[in-house]
Amino acid sequence: MKKTKFSPITAGDHKLAFAFLLPGMLFVTVFVFIPIIYSVYMSLYEWTLFDLGRDRTFVAFDNFTRAFSDRLFANAVGNTLRIVFFCVIIEMILGFLIALCLWNIKRSLKVIHTIILLPMITAPVVVALIWRFIFDPQFGILNYVLRNAFGITGLAWLGDPNLSLPSIMIVEIWQMTAFVVLVLYAGLTVVPMDSVEAALIDGASYWQTIRRIIIPFLMPLALLVMMIRTMDVLRIFDTIFVLTRGGPGSSTEVLSSYIYRAGFQNFEMGYALALSLITLVGILIISLGYVKAMKQKDGG
């Protein structure tokens, strides 16, 4: 077999590549790296929104040490991680099952795809308002069904500390499972059918084929979907702000809402920046974990 000869990279090629990369590098530097560096600098001071243009009090790393002893921040971290864990796991399971059902339909109906994707393409604020009426303890359809079908009454979905966080999870799962379906269904369309048919001919059951062939084939893609959804849920804000505003008490307080409260309600901007940077470091660590897992699945 004749080997392909690659021409050496010239200095002109390097200059052309740099010219193409330069706009993106400038954009990332101006809108990502410089704001992060400035945020680190400003987090070392104690200041409020009303202190712009005035002298600020230098407190070094006091804002960061305060965060690690802040019980409300710890509660927000715990609530966020619980939402991430349950939402991502349930969305992956439901999304895979729905995608598998669509894949098995020989003549895929576009109307079904549209209906499934409808929650995802709806604005989160609109979704939250819809579910706010559904969860209404007096006039909501959910309590109406439970009362007439099962005799269950008096459930305050958004007002009960024990039910408010699961209610947030229900809304998030209902809206974003469609994203998992969309990506996994695209992955199923490129599954090597020769391997599937060979396994079925050799006597493997349908579920054995799924477990031994389809799931391993989709695993790198599934890890990518999990990473995207994890990053997305970690910054959840609009749904909670519309439904509960972090209440009742602090039962649905998450990282985004607590940082918002610290910065724009308590006006402690230095502390809010410190919380944001801690959150950013945590997100980076989780992202690196997903990237490492994806490399292992790819054999890298």
How confident is the prediction for the chain on average, in pLDDT? Answer: 88
Architecture of domain 44-297: Orthogonal Bundle (1.10)
Among 170, 171, 180, 181, which residue's Cα sits nearest to residue 113?
Answer: 181
Q: Is 58 helix (H, G, I), strand (E, B) or coil?
A: strand
Q: Mean of the pLDDT values across residues 183-202?
A: 87
Say if residue 137 is preceded by a cis peptide, omega within 30 of 0. Answer: no
Angle at 91 between CA 85 and CA 93, to 5 degrees: 100
Confidence of residue 1 (pLDDT cuts 50, 70, 90): very low
Q: Mean of the pLDDT values across residues 114-121?
A: 85
Distance CA(234)–CA(170), nearest Å, equals: 16
Checking if the pLDDT of 121 tops 80, the result is yes
What pLDDT does residue 61 have? 92
Burial bucket for residue 223 (CB in 10 Å: 0-12, 13-18, 19+): buried
Distance CA(290)–CA(225), nearest Å, equals: 10
Residue 76 contacts residue 254 (beta carbons within 8 Å): yes
- pTM listed for this prediction: 0.88
pLDDT in tens, 224-252: 999 999 999 999 999 999 999 998 999 99
pLDDT in tens, 2-15: 455 545 556 566 78
Confidence of residue 108 (pLDDT cuts 50, 70, 90): low
Per domain, the residue ranges of the chain are: 44-297
Per the document, the length of the chain is 300
β-partners of residue 46 are 57
